Structure 1
């Protein structure tokens, strides 16, 4: 499985997939059918067919791992620089409040490093380096608890749709039979 923005299989998983391909090559030499090999190795028949074609054209070396599909756009050194920029806070970078969003971090990466990430790519980048989503733990200083309580008691009941009364309603099965 590959992931956006330079993710992909781990080195361990790449080695495992390579071992599967080499095992399939041995089975190709024995003359086994693709469907049997796919069933035994628990892979798709189409994958085995691709491997067989590569093996018949270029031999076993064609089935060797070619390494990661792509390298991350931000190296570990550049991510360290990004972390120092994030520590400065959003206000230092021109945003009006102290909230980092994925969109803002994407913009910061573009401005600072001239690299383009998707929103999902930024989320994967942060997760890969141990960052997590944060939700504010405290309420806004400006919050007026008395006004909130009054709104809940007075305004909300008027806005809320009336509820159906419990009890028996009328339907084709509950209507009294006409005589």
Structure 2
């Protein structure tokens, strides 16, 4: 919940100060799909996961990615070509078996350390920029701000197209977590 910082303006001689009441080790994990289908608007599908989950995990498990892909397949109504990074959760045995058992799912692995090829990184950049210089009162305030920001991006396909165009990957579905 430590706020990201960004440049800002103020009156001469008055340095702007962001007051943070305390530090917290709580975090919010979000998995997202940036989807493109020729002839249709680009889409963003996401799922947040607070770190205080019933199973004790602080990040997404392969089963969470599996569930997100299943929901995306139902929403998109067709086969998915998935391009994703080398996150260890994406490479687990359970995830590999899930992929192998789905005729509608083709996976292409990004090279190591290639965030410039992942359009979801462009989405995270937009979210971080919007949240910069915000001191969150509590975890729920952070969660609400992230959800609101992602929802706004969902309704602005131009932003999603910009994230896709920045990678050169314009005809695929991409999954990334952060």
TM norm structure 1: 0.23
**Could you say which structure has the higher helix fraction?**
1
Between Structure 1 and Structure 2, whose CA radius of gyration is higher? Answer: 1
Q: Which has the higher contact order (CA 8 A, sep 6+)?
A: 2
**Could you say which structure has the higher strand fraction?**
2
